[in-house]
Chain A
Amino acid sequence: MINLRDKGAELWEGANRLQRTAFALVAIFAALCLPYAGNFSLTNFLNTPISSYEAVLVYPVGMYILMALGLNIVVGKSGLLDLGYVAFFAIGAYTAAILGTHTHLNTWEILPMGMGFAMLAGVLLGLPTLRLRGDYLAIVTLGFGEIVRILAINTPSIGGPNGIAGVPQPPTVLGQAFDITHPDHFFWLVVIMILAVIWMVRRLSIRRPGRAWEAIRQDEDVALLMGVPILRYKIWSFSIGAAVGGAAGVIFASEQMFVAPQSFNYNVSVLILSCVVFGGMGNIWGVVLGASILSYLPERIRFISNAREFVFGLALVVMMNIRPEGLLPRKKREHLSDEERAALKATRAALTASKKASKKASEKASEKASEKAEKEASK
């Protein structure tokens, strides 16, 4: 089987800056055009029967990609198994619903607040639990996810099991209205958020936090022995992931105009985790691809009704057998990226320079010594 990731990486690294920019722009443009693909005979195979294709692109597809990217920071980058990720999505959604119906804040103002609350929840949950490892962390986060949902069901002031209706939609931006007749605008919004998250994750990955996460994922004890404050970086990973989930929640609430506890079931956490594992843990493009397929497929095959879940499960099992590391697995460290190559070059240059300097110094010293010896001999 051809190695898609390596082929892609090869093409990307072989390209110059102009080609890369052009490719990125074309890819973004194609993504933005996706909502209209259902109208053309060439691309209308994408159309989802029964459910509205444009709406499907926003939820679940866009939302799942966004959440999978957020969870990927936690699971893929730092190796922390979080089975209650849906809690942060719920916190974002309820923030939007409560503030949207009780105050005059609009969605854009609520968005950072929803992210903030999700982050805060991430820190509060992380402080005691991130000292735990592997399985224990998974159980505690699983419990947290359920607690948030059950708390929502049992709190009448936020609608209890009925949820909150009438969540306001985002105000118009640049003449583009966000309402039920414009799912394409919501999709554009989600695409922009996805791009922002991808940009952030790529930045973080090549900098100190990325190094720390990588070390923690590979060997926690050794990371500690190297002086990496692992608890601090785990909490960062957890809360950045939470913020992305919270952002997805805010947009979800204002797009659906309604939130209810049953949208935040345990299955959502598992599905998001499946997206990450299915696509390729730790690889952004793998995660995007995995989330796209796993969120879109069940809608596309909705016409087979009862067999739908079965086909979906079967596809998962078969795929994980063929590609256990995911569709586009994490890059193996056989060749270096451009940044790494540049860093390596600089290091090598510095090394040879310092060596030359010491060589010169020693040559000078030996010259002086021989001069001295000659002088003494002539005396």
Chain B
Amino acid sequence: MPSRYVITLCDGPSCMHKKSKEIEMVIKSELEKNGLLEKTRVMLSGCLGMCKKGPVMIVNPGYTIYGGITEKDIPEIIQKHLLKKQPVARLVIDEDHLYNRFFRIFGDVDFFRKQMRITLRNCGIMDPESIEDYLALRGYEALGKVLTEMTPQQVIAEVKKSGLRGRGGAGFPTGLKWEITAKAEGKEKFVICNADEGDPGAFMDRSAIEGDPHTVIEGMIIGGYAVGSSRGIVYIRAEYPLAVKRLEKAIVDARQEGFLGKNILGSNFSFDIEIRLGAGAFVCGEETALIHSIEGSRGMPRPRPPFPSVSGLFGNPTLINNVETWANIPVIILDGADWFSSIGTEKSKGTKVFALAGKIKNTGLVEVPMGTTLREIIYEIGGGIPNNKKIKAIQTGGPSGGCLSEEYLDTKIDYESLAQAGSIMGSGGMIIIDEDSCMVNIAKFFLEFTQNESCGKCTPCREGTKRMLEILTRITEGKGEEGDIEKLQRLGNMIKKSSLCGLGQSAPNPVLSTIKNFRVEYEEHIKNRKCPAKVCQSLFNYSIIDKCVGCGACKKICPTQAISGQAKAKHAIDQSKCIKCGLCFKTCKFNAIIKS
């Protein structure tokens, strides 16, 4: 613990009236009596504005705010708080702490107005490679509390009460998972952090670890204590070298300070964490596949049950949670389950981090309370769509999720409402698609990804996604047939129902949701051989219109010499030579080349 304290005493008129000057004198003499004068800075501040509760005094670190104190309370505060590190609870002003909303430290800009940062509370404001910075921001305080004041059962009860649900996508109640693992019997138990963030378009876990690795570590240690495990493993993508480096440093520092290793903080609880690198396989985000990968095998899933909580790594009970879930734990312990569960909706508590990307002005990470609407995220935080384009779709949940149309903009974000709308919460990727994109093409893109990443173990996923992709490719090439849409739906539903793991069970979602919400586009492709967004290359031609001034720029840039024409006269494109690379379209300054 840091040896230096800062005591800030409000010296505003109201507090002064209530004898803050006298209190200061008592503080100083008490500090001297206890030999703390050298180690403590006493500061008189301007008015804090909490005049009704004065005199007000803040003790740092810890941001403990005392109110209504008198000279008589000072010896007790100094004895208990400064010497024994136990704040005098009866004098602490007990309110919803503002710093829980992080306005105190975050920038005073609109971007943060609708946000609420719990898991990302330290990202961007501390040096992620400094354990001292983390300690100053109440780091490892939750661990201390757990080890000294709580039994494992109490920790689990607190997490259960908080209503936290798995942030990896499926939304399984975290506390319940902990309870099952704690009750399971095994030679030893494992705690795993799933940082195999493979969804294209998602970078929440990477940012959380790069910005604040200690929070994840602290969460895992608490998890280890709760379920009775002494070995933790972080399974992280090899593609995230910086995150790996910071995590490694954080683990070394935490060991040095006694937060990891044998007899943590003098208790009889021991726990250590090792890092295992992934090697680029999307399916390893699935928990049983991830376990196989840690065991040194091909990362293929297996049927559940038994669930990893009962029989996981090396056949032992294993608690697997996602990075964001772990990062919530210290806050729940520090500020309590009651506070945490006051945020969010009835069934989804707390906040969710989203990676905003695609056609949106403010791309980046946002953390919002559950129950925020898509519209608020996209327009009030994300700043809307650039270049005055119209929004066409919102894609959530990556390749396992779905595309929602504009009419779903007022959907509130929580596990149930997103599922009801036909998408999923997923791990938190949110891609905004504007009118320039073709939804059939987007669906094809996602299916290409999942088809490629299918591990091949079960037939519906291996063969089914391939057949679906063939149909989609056919449609985008203008060779779609009557009945293709129904065939896709039939296949999709079959794959969803019969696949072994989450990858296959959710792979058809992008296709099914685009059919549901953008069926007209599919029909245009199939019946009229037209791509309304003019993206599918086989379904449109480039041509030159009368606006052409004959500058020759397009002719010069065309890689296949498909453009001909005299200088200062209208040019023409030879369609048999054109490969539709679009270079001429981009080059023309006169908007004389159009897609038709």
Q: Do A and B come from one complex?
A: no
Interface residues of A, Cβ cutoff 8 Å to B? none
Interface residues of B, Cβ cutoff 8 Å to A? none
